[in-house]
Chain A
Amino acid sequence: MDNNTENDIPKGKGKHGASVMYILIVGVFFAILTTVFLFFPRSEYSELEKRDLAEFPDINDIETIKKDPAKFTSEVSSWFSDTEPYRDELMTMSMKIRGAMKADYRSDEETISFRPAETPVNPASEGNEKVEDKVKKQDVSDKEEMEGDATEASDSEEEDDEDLDDGKAKLGSSGTIIIGKGDKVRALMAFGGTAKGGGGYIDLLNTLANEFPNANVYAMVAPLATEYYLPAKASKASSPQKPFIYSIRDRLSPKVKFVDVYDELLKHKKEDIYLRTDHHWAGLGGYYAAKRLAETAGVPFKGLDAYEKHVVKNFVGSMYGYSKDISVKKAPEDFVYYTPTQVAYDAQFVSYTLNKNFKIIRESKPYKSAFFKKFKDGSGNAYLTFIGTDQAYVKVKTSTPGNRKLLIIKDSYGNAVPGNLFYSFNEVHVIDFRYFTHNLKEYVKNNGITDIAVCFNVFNAYSSGSASKVKKMLTQSGGIPAVSNTDSKPKEKKDQAKSESVESLSPTENTQTTPANESSNQENTQPQKEENPVTPEKTVNPEE
């Protein structure tokens, strides 16, 4: 393959003409590609990865460019490759090429593929974004379909800087695992934690129990689908979650009530409690978790016959873009959710607007909107059915008598839970652990909350950063924190420079995870995340 410069083709008659022909064929083809890449409209949003693509760096910001011209040029390069015309088509093709390299002789049961977590390198490359973010960006076509036409945002979580600093809290996800074949394909996320983690979560729950002696405090930890569906022979790909979840139970103060979601889901393992193509559980999984919560809380709970079943067909969730595995796309599923029919409820939203750096810059006035949003068939964002966004807190008044008022502090897994508790509580309040600017003590007092549940998936329960955000809510004074556009810049610059030079070179730098402090955290983020080009201020509040 080497050493053949001079002798590529032996000299013979017509060599010159043949070379000219070669140059013409390849030249014309290259010219066509170049024309497409340079002059066709650039992609702005990736349907497949469910995210906004990179934006051209700000060319007027001379100061920043002067400070770090290399960053500017690399952003231009990233922008160029991120926003290629026909990006999704090319991406699909790339997955097909990768798929063609597979030797496909295994039976359905045996088929297991691993996809390592991608090392984030630049803002243009996906993978440095949380799946969470990707899934939340609503596609335009769905907009009219949304009953509540409420808040829609390119939803990305803000990361507190200290979380990034402590290094313990978050490390990249260890990857995805694809099991099964054909329409049975299921994409799973690997968990890397050990039974020792979760100290922050425990501390949070114990603190809440102490702060609110008159309220019931519940710990709810949602396992990942991996725990129930990972074949035994692939068990090493992901740490078991059971020891972790039950060690949390054992370490909680007796004042905290542990909701055994793990056990409840195990009983219903054979039902569709998890989405196959999304990183979330299904509506049914949230239903069973809510059931266990209601049992633990000693409140009424209705069977599924009191609910209406809805189906969004041809759903392919976040795991397609995340695993980059074509087989996930080829296995669409039904997104099923249930809405209560025999109870009246009324949801009041307060939504947040974020700036480019994911800082909250504005809070809306309370407005009424549908609790369940409707998505049309084929929409990849159907998990947003529940509440529609994370950047809001919601208060649902129900016609259920009594004075039990529940507050759920949750991550995105928790979104699927409260809709099943309208028969159980007189009021259901939902606060996202990332977006709440008021003082939690006052909120609990003012609203007469009697029950507080902290519903996290194992990633967030593991990460001390997630819990510390909630803890901060107990002391924060309320109102919108001051916005600074620059505070994340220096760090990001450094990370960028570092990853530029190490990239594929010393993978250990980027992906090394030591089990002791590992928290493969899907919900959380990686340092480059601030560069994540989500359009700022997209939250639309109909009442404003």
Chain B
Amino acid sequence: MVFSDLFFIFCFIPLFGLLYVLFGWIDKARIHHADNKERRLKRPMLFRNIILTIFSILFYAWGEPIYVFLMLAVVIVNYFCGILLYKKHNIIGKVWLFIGVAADLAALGSFKYLGFFSGIIRSIGFDVPDPQIALPIGISFYIFQSISYLVDVYREDSKPQRNYFDLLLYISMFPQLIAGPIVRYGTVAEEIGRRRATADDVADGVYRFIIGLGKKVIIANIMGEIATSLLGSSLDNMSAAAAWVGIIAFSIQIYFDFSGYSDMAIGIGRCVGFHFPENFSHPYTCTSMTDFWRRWHISLGSFFRDYVYIPMGGNRRHQALNIMTVWFLTGMWHGASWNFIIWGVYFGLIIMIEKYTLLRWKWMPKIGLYIYSLFLIIVGWGIFYFDDFGRMTQFFTAFFGQNEPQGLPMHVESVLIDNLWLWVAAVILCLPVRKQVEKIGYKMALKIPYAGNYTVQFIHAIVSVIILICCVALLVGATNNAFIYTRF
């Protein structure tokens, strides 16, 4: 199931919402009538957590009815390893950590990378069968969350979860299950046991969800259509304009697709009282690639920083090796395909070079930094987009103007003009404009005596309703509606 599916919005959400509220009352009544105080305090979220877990499993099973058992098994392994390794300062702790992480990586490896590696082995002459395993949705996300759980417990940043179902809830929680953000266990450990969702939380969460839905349905889907129309068919002798417009459309698509998903995840989380980490911070306004990766898929970047880069020695020991390892893994994480690995290594190299050049050159004008960064990001998406090297070569030949046709072909012009206002809106929304407008708007609105907050929320409500209507209409007959990042 995906968030931008009408079935999710109008079946899953209402049913979940109703039951969650209902069982919230039961929880409260239960606590109110509990005879002893100790028990009362023990599990204030019991029923709500049960509902959330059940719906999370349903949510996952809807898309992966079989692999849901894989997820349950992963949680069991992590559950026991977590308990067994906690506060074991000798070798035993290390062994259990190793077993747990190895089991997680083995699951990821066999379901995500086996086909890739068997292909490599075949290509060097050994006859191994192609395992033909379909990638379980979201496995990269929940495996990374499992690893973060084990490591955090090992480091004693968090206590191990003694309740299997609460750990299952952490791993499977449907808002962030299939495409992140990668929530660290420590971030939500307390909220699993005890959390509050005030009216403010719910209002902000709903608004956030609807903004995310709009990003996905109104911008990302249409931009995706444009990118496909320009890059999806024959690239033979394509014009430079088509290559540029196509890959820029894809750049916009992937940002709004993924950040839209994160917004929706964070929004749903807010509504049930969780505070998930932010995953994006206007990545296209970065001033270097180093900066870009602090703004793009933040939860993945910080995962690698805390669990790979720093343990390896960070900037104190063989920094170059550390950087290249992290970026190789980042590329690899995105998929079992060479182009992702190249894409990761590409960023690794640039970031390494930046350390000695750009980041030390304080004299560079900002505008130059923006252009530099955007150019490299766009080239990066070119690598990212094509998993076929022949097509990638064709694309870059066109991209760098090596093909005959110059000027603006009709097709490209049509794509631009027929969606002009969307392009304008998308580019503006890549900038922190909305934030600024809201800041100023809130300031002005709050000056209205007594009704300041009401004005703000009323405007939010109008915006929400309009976005909802547009999304519902645009989702009719939407064909390409899956989120890009659920593939990873």
Contacts and interface: CB of A to CB of B under 8 A. Distances in A.
A22 B450 contact: no
A121 B429 contact: no
Given A1-B432, A29-B465, A38-B11, A106 B200 contact: no
Contacts of A73: 1, 61-63, 65
Nearest to B210: A26
B457 A500 contact: no
7 contacts: A3-B435, A26-B468, A94-B473, A102-B417, A119-B479, A233-B410, A507-B228
Interface string A8-19: 111011111111
A174 interface: yes
Ranked nearest first, the 8 interchain pairs of A and B with the lowest CB-CB distance are A507-B232, A116-B229, A18-B453, A103-B420, A19-B203, A69-B65, A507-B228, A504-B480
A159 to B, nearest CB: 20
Interface in A474-513: 497, 500-501, 503-508, 510-513
Interface of A: 1-5, 8-10, 12-23, 25-26, 29-31, 33-34, 37-38, 49, 69-70, 73-74, 76-77, 80-82, 84, 87, 90-91, 93-94, 97-98, 100-103, 106, 112-114, 116, 118-122, 125-127, 174-175, 233-234, 236-237, 324, 497, 500-501, 503-508, 510-515, 518
Given A12-B446, A101-B420, A505 B484 contact: yes
A90 B278 contact: no
Given A14-B454, A84-B476, A121-B479, A508 B282 contact: no
A100 B421 CA distance: 8
A102 B419 contact: yes
Interface in B1-33: 1, 5-7, 10-11, 14
A507 B231 contact: yes
Nearest to B228: A507
Contacts of B432: 1
- Provide the main secondary structure of the chain B interface: helix
Nearest to A80: B7
A508 B410 contact: no
B393 interface: no
Contact of A512 (B7, B232, B453, B481): B232
> By DSSP majority rule, is chain A's interface helix, strand, loop, or mixed?
helix
Contact of A8 (B5, B198, B204): B204
Interface in B33-65: 61-65
B452 interface: yes
Interface stretch (B345-353, B369-377, B384-392): B384-392
- A2, A8, A237, A497 interface centre (most CB from chain B within 10 Å): A2
B178 interface: no
Interface in B278-327: 278-282
A125 B479 contact: yes
Contact of B482 (A94, A500, A507): A500
Interface string B461-476: 1001100101011111
A37 B10 contact: yes
B155 to A, nearest CB: 26
B211 interface: yes
B422 interface: yes
B460 interface: yes
